[in-house]
Amino acid sequence: MVQARSSTADVDDVLCEIVDKIAEVEDVDPLELTPPLYEVIDPEALGQMFATIPTADRMELRVSFPYEGYEVTVHGDGDVSVEE
């Protein structure tokens, strides 16, 4: 059985999208997020989830975590939502 996996660039895109969305909601530069994302979640573990799940199965993936009063949800297609 052959499994399609995301490339490292795709995983990096998802992590960047998370940071960008939170920064947008907080109205700050992404480099100024406090606390930094890596203090709240393990970006490598999140990236591994996207890198190891076959692309076809990834659409059902959804990961949520709290960040400074927001609920951040990452969907399998790479879409990120940030809600209060």
Structure-token pair, residue 51? 């890198």
At 32 the three-state DSSP class reads helix
- pLDDT attached to residue 28: 94
Average pLDDT, the chain: 80
CA dihedral 61, 9, 33, 70 (to 10 degrees): -10
Name the DSSP class of 27.
Answer: T
Contacts 24+ apart (CB under 8 A), 63-66: 65/40, 65/41, 66/40
Tell me: pLDDT of 47 over 90. Answer: no
Q: How does pLDDT run across 10-46, given as a tens digit for each residue?
A: 667 788 888 999 999 999 999 999 999 889 999 888 8
- Does pTM top 0.85 for this prediction? no
